[in-house]
Structure 1
């Protein structure tokens, strides 16, 4: 998905989510997102994406890079996904952020086994 499609899609999702909040119990509303008028966050810069690629040791998929140029993460992406895809929090699947270096080989790059984004928050 390119940046224009992400922008349209995420803006539409936010509008629909905001409209639905009037039907919910006020105690269940995400007040921060409601006040911001969006489920998104400010866009990540090129430096953020480059830092993430360096930390992971691999290039990001173009669609995820485009997503980051629109919003550095997303709130309430589903019933069990409360926060999605924030560049600073993405890590290799199975490695908590504080243990990430444990899987790095002599090249300094993470293992390539099972490579790919898992929900845009962890990489396998």
Structure 2
């Protein structure tokens, strides 16, 4: 399923700074009895669930290691915080530069590719998820994964972004990393409302 732009997603580093404090505040306010114990007193007070910004050298070295240039919204995000703990839904954290990698190079990715390759052989038809797993960049994980597809680039330089739920074997597509992050905020609010 493809989602259209919601318009409020951050784009620039300045956008991300304000957005992440607001996002962190929402995360802290909606934290349930399982999440709250994992938050530090400083995170609860500051609403900042991120790290220090990644400098240009760190971002550039990561891009060189991966052989790509990050899409604009991810790049801007990393200049504000090198990773983010506490994401709405079933993602635990957005990875710092040192941990961003091609899904195929991760243990989770290797397992997914193996399972979906077996399904493809048994069913005798091309599996779109398998193709995505082989080419996607993994940028966040938890029970679900956030993946970026470098083969699906939009005119603004953004890559298609996906949240993949292994439990259901489904991937939802968004126009960019920023749109996916923003959708996680809406999901966080819906989950909090359903628990009250």
Q: Normalization by structure 2: what TM-score?
A: 0.46
* 1:92/1:31 CA distance change after superposition, 3 Å: same
For 1:82, the equivalent position in structure 2 comes to 92
Higher share of residues assigned strand: 2
Unmatched 5+ residue regions in structure 2? 1-10, 108-130, 141-145, 150-196
How many residue pairs match? The answer is: 105
Q: Is the 8 A contact 2:83 2:93 kept in 1?
A: yes
- Aligned partners of 2:91, 2:147: CA distance in 1, in Å? 13
Quote the Cα distance in structure 2 between the aligned partners of 1:42 and 1:2: 17
* CA displacement 1:37-60 (0-9 Å, x = unmatched): 311111111111011101101111
Structure 2 match to 1:31: 39
CA distance in 1, matches of 2:137, 2:66: 11
Aligned to 2:78: 68
Q: Write the distance in 2 (CA, Å) between the matches of 1:69 and 1:51.
A: 14
- Cα drift, residue 18 of structure 1: 2.2
SS in 1 for 2:87: coil
3-state SS of the aligned residue for 1:94? Answer: helix
Output the CA distance in 1 between the equivalents of 2:104 and 2:88: 21
- What SS class does the counterpart of residue 91 from structure 2 fall into? coil
TM-score (norm: length of structure 1): 0.70
> 1: distance between equivalents of 2:68 and 2:35?
38
Quote the offset at 1:28 in angstroms: 3.4
